[in-house]
Structures are given as C-alpha cells and as structure tokens.
C-alpha cells in the first residue's frame, strides 16, 4: 500500500494507487497529496529524501536539501530577532550544495522520482529559466530522459553545469511562452514522454514544499510569517499545503503562517488582482510588454495558478496573506543588503522576497517577538561561478508551426545524440 493517496480539493474524491499524478480531477481544482502518516518525520536518508511527506518510495539518486538558519546580520539590520532564513543555492560554508543555485531542484527531483516510480519513460518540460536548468541537471543526475522546450527569450537564464549540454533543449524561435507550451504538448505526445503537468503535478508542489519541512523541523514549529517571491505560485501553494499538514500533525502550532508573497513591478498580475480582492486576473496586467521591464524573468509567468480552487487566491485568503509589488530599484537594493548582512549573493527573485520582508517590518506588519521565515529561492550563483565553470545551453531551434513529421525526425536525431 502506498504511503499516500490523492484527494480532489473540489469534490472530495480520494484516488488510491494513482500512477503518474500530473493532472487534476475536477476542472479548475487541484489534487492534493494525503499522507497516511499524519505525523511528520525524518529518516536518516540524505538530503530531501529524509522527509516522509514526499510522494516517492525508493529514491535512487541524491538530492541535497534546503539549509535553515537563524539570521544575525539581516536581523540586526532590520531590528528583529526571530528571523529564520531557508537558503536554497550554493553556499558551502553553510552546507548549501545546490549546484544549479535554485530551489527548483527539489521540484525536479521529486517529479522525476515520482514519474520513474510510475513507469513513465521520460518527461517533457515547458518551463523556462531556473526550472529548465533544474530539470536538465536532475535528468543528468538521475539518468531519466527529459526534453526541455522553451521560448527564445528565456535561453539567457539557462546556463548549465558542465555535463548538461546533452539534454535535448528545443527553443521555439518565433513564439512566446504559450507557443512553446503548444509545441511542448505536441512533442510530448509524439515522444511518448508526458508533460510534467505544472501546478497540477502534486510531486512538483510537495517537492517545493520541502523548504517548509526543513524549516519546521529546525524551528520546532511553524513560522508566524512566511516570505516568498512568486511567479506561477506553485512553490507558495506547496508551502501552504505543507503548513496544513503540520497543523493536522498538531505538534507544530495551530495557526497557518501568514503569507507575504511578492512579485516584481511592473509585471505583477497577482499583486494587482489581490489588492482588489479579485479572484480573476486582469488582462491589462498580463501584457507581455510589461515582462520586458522586470529584472526577474523567472517570475514572468502569464498563466499563474491564482484563480483555481486551492490556488494563490485561496491560500492568501486562508492565511490572511498580503502581496507586495516590488520595483527593480528595490530588488537591487535588497540583493545588496542581503549580500552585505548575510554574506552571499542572491538571485533577483530572492531579492524580491527580501524587499517584501523589509517593507513588512517597516510597516509594522510583524511583531518584534514573532518567528519569521524568509525563503531565499535562489542564491550563490556568483559564488558558484568563482569555483566552477558553467556552460551555455546548446539549443535546437524550431519554428512554432513545426509539423508533426518534422518533430518526429528531430526527436530521432536528438534522442540518439543524447543517449
């Protein structure tokens, strides 16, 4: 018997023995993992595989986990005392060992292991930037085939570790993100490698939720406040779901952490909608030209998991959350403050979260004696580059109207090359 079942958040149906769990049940609602073990526990396994609340059975490749510590420098700077940082990236002195420097590694590792155990032969990934980087890395580490499909504007952020060049990476030269999703769906069908499923994939959300597993274990309780920058919202939803599990466990507190979620202005569709308490995003806030103006491309998702049942609107509503729109200038300032006070470089998206924390403290939204958790979703890239060589992706350009026959031929040559 599996140690989990899947539960539809809309109709309460429980699905036993589900194989690959990358799609939902009811329309516009998420499936949620229900672990038979209501009590959280850690085994002596390494990295994230020590947690009992992940939808995997016998992981067979390593995946380092998050590092959680009590802040001194940034705390002093802000005049607060209970600030914990969950650092995801490369920072060997702290024990942080993510070579792609992003928390998306947890997502990729759990999704790949879950797919492997479900008898899936490979996955198609249509995410860009740090997610594609993480999936390429984990495809290499696990030996599990992955095809990456991204729009052209995203290749700049897809640097790779040395050996990654052989992961098939298709770049849709003449289209935007939605065109590349369309191409990815056709590639997925023809290659027989399912789509990774986005926010619908429970393995993705639970993998990202492992930041809260590590944090609650180290803090001994749930934080009162949680800070994170969001693009699709998948990571924050994963964390909110883990918080619910800790409350059912009973030993970590009875109150959901208040969520402080942030986006980079001027592209901040969820911030704009939440400020008007709207469950629907506004089309004027989703204009692609706004994306050109932000510094955090990884937060530029135009199809975020906001409106659906169990999505960002609902988790904010349940936890009494707040959203922050952070302009570029504040992002850069926050990155610099973090580097000076904590001692390591962080990615712009993490700078968005730091800026939200600074605003919340200044606005008096957090009490002096409360426990805070700041999710540094990516960091140590500069540090990593001092010690290791990184490589640019070797892309295979395809047009958005590529025919099925051309996709077949291309896959043949690409998959032969990579094996």
From 4-12, 64-72, 216-224, 361-369, give the range in contact with Zn ion by CB under 5 A: 4-12
Could you tell me how far CA 257 lies from the centroid of its own chain? Answer: 19
Q: CA 198, CA 125: separation in Å to the nearest integer?
A: 9
Q: Does the footprint of Zn ion cover residue 24 (CB under 5 A)?
A: no
Q: Is the Cβ of residue 198 or residue 351 nearer to Zn ion in the bound state? A: 198
Q: CA 117, CA 207: separation in Å to the nearest integer?
A: 15
**Binding-site size, Zn ion (CB under 5 A):** 6
Q: Is the Cβ of residue 1 or residue 11 nearer to Zn ion in the bound state? A: 11
Q: Is the Cβ of residue 13 or residue 275 nearer to Zn ion in the bound state? A: 13
Q: Does the footprint of Zn ion cover residue 25 (CB under 5 A)?
A: yes
Tokens describing residue 236 = 């924050």
Q: Is the Cβ of residue 26 or residue 190 nearer to Zn ion in the bound state? A: 26
Give me the half-sphere count of Cα atoms (radius 13 Å) on the Cβ side of residue 244.
Answer: 16
Could you tell me how far CA 2 lies from the centroid of its own chain? Answer: 25
Q: Does the footprint of Zn ion cover residue 150 (CB under 5 A)?
A: no
Tokens describing residue 410 = 């291309």
Q: Does the footprint of Zn ion cover residue 27 (CB under 5 A)?
A: no
Write the DSSP symbol of residue 27. Answer: T
Which of 5, 7, 18, 26: binder of Zn ion (CB under 5 A)? 26
> Under a CB-based contact definition with an 8 Å cutoff, are residues 83 and 70 in contact?
yes
Q: Is the Cβ of residue 310 or residue 351 nearer to Zn ion in the bound state? A: 310
* Cβ count near 101 (within 10 Å): 29
Q: What is the DSSP string of 114-179?
A: HHHHTT---EEE---HHHHHHHHHHHHHHT--EEEEEEGGGGGG--B-GGGGGS-EEEETT--HHH
Report which secondary-structure segment, H or E, holds 15. strand 14-15
Q: Is the Cβ of residue 9 or residue 100 nearer to Zn ion in the bound state? A: 9
Nearest distance in Å: CB 9, Zn ion = 8
Q: Is the Cβ of residue 24 or residue 378 nearer to Zn ion in the bound state? A: 24
Nearest distance in Å: CB 237, Zn ion = 17
Q: Does the footprint of Zn ion cover residue 217 (CB under 5 A)?
A: no
The residue assigned the tokens 């699905």 is 15
Q: Does the footprint of Zn ion cover residue 11 (CB under 5 A)?
A: yes
Nearest distance in Å: CB 13, Zn ion = 5
Nearest distance in Å: CB 8, Zn ion = 3
Q: Does the footprint of Zn ion cover residue 302 (CB under 5 A)?
A: no
Q: Does the footprint of Zn ion cover residue 204 (CB under 5 A)?
A: no
Q: Is the Cβ of residue 23 or residue 121 nearer to Zn ion in the bound state? A: 23
From 12-20, 48-56, 206-214, 328-336, give the range in contact with Zn ion by CB under 5 A: 12-20
Neighbouring residues of 213: CB distance < 8 A, sequence distance ≥ 6: 40, 48, 51, 53, 242
CA distances from 275 to 259, 279, 317 (A): 14, 10, 12
Nearest distance in Å: CB 24, Zn ion = 8
Which of 4, 6, 8, 122: binder of Zn ion (CB under 5 A)? 8
Q: Is the Cβ of residue 24 or residue 64 nearer to Zn ion in the bound state? A: 24
Write the DSSP symbol of residue 43. Answer: -
Nearest distance in Å: CB 314, Zn ion = 15
Q: Does the footprint of Zn ion cover residue 308 (CB under 5 A)?
A: no
Q: CA 419, CA 408: separation in Å to the nearest integer?
A: 17
Q: CA 217, CA 221: separation in Å to the nearest integer?
A: 7
Q: Does the footprint of Zn ion cover residue 205 (CB under 5 A)?
A: no
- Binding site residues, Zn ion, CB under 5 A: 8, 10-11, 13, 25-26
């Amino acid at each position: 018997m599996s140690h989990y079942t899947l539960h539809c958040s809309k109709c309460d149906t429980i699905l036993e023995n589900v194989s690959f769990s990358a799609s939902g049940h009811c329309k516009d609602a998420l499936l949620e993992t229900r672990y038979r073990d209501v009590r959280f526990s850690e085994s002596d396994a390494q990295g994230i595989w020590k947690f009992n609340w992940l939808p995997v059975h016998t992981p067979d490749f390593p995946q380092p986990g998050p590092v959680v510590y009590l802040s001194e420098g940034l705390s002093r700077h802000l005049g607060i005392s209970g600030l914990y940082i969950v650092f995801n990236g490369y920072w060997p002195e702290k024990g942080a060992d993510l070579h792609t420097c992003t928390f998306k590694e947890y997502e990729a590792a759990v999704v790949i292991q879950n797919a492997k155990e479900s008898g899936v032969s490979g996955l198609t990934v249509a995410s860009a930037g740090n997610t594609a980087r993480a999936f390429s890395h984990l495809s290499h580490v696990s030996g599990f085939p992955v095809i990456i499909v991204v729009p052209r504007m995203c290749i700049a952020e897809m640097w790779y570790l040395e050996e990654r060049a052989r992961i098939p990476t298709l770049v849709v030269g003449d289209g935007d993100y939605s065109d590349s999703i369309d191409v990815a769906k056709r590639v997925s069908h023809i290659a027989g490698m399912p789509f990774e499923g986005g926010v619908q994939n429970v393995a993705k959300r639970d993998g990202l939720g492992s930041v809260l597993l590590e944090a609650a274990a180290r803090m001994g309780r749930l934080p009162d406040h949680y800070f994170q920058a969001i693009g699709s919202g998948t990571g924050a939803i994963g964390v909110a779901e883990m918080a619910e599990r800790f409350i059912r466990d009973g030993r970590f507190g009875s109150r959901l952490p208040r969520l402080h979620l942030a986006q980079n202005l001027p592209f901040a569709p969820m911030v704009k909608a939440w400020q008007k308490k709207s469950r629907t995003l506004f089309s004027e806030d989703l204009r692609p030209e706004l994306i050109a103006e932000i510094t955090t491309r990884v937060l530029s998702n135009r199809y975020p998991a906001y409106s659906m049942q169990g999505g960002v609107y609902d988790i904010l509503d349940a936890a009494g959350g707040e959203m922050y729109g952070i302009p570029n200038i504040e992002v850069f300032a926050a990155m610099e403050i973090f580097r000076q006070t904590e001692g390591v470089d962080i990615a712009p998206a993490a700078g968005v979260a730091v800026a939200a924390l600074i605003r919340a403290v200044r606005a008096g939204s957090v009490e002096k004696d409360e426990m805070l958790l700041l999710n540094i979703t990516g960091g140590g890239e500069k540090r990593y580059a001092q010690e290791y060589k990184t490589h640019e992706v070797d892309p295979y350009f395809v047009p958005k109207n590529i025919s099925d026959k051309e996709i077949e031929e291309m896959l043949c040559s690409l998959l032969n090359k990579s094996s």
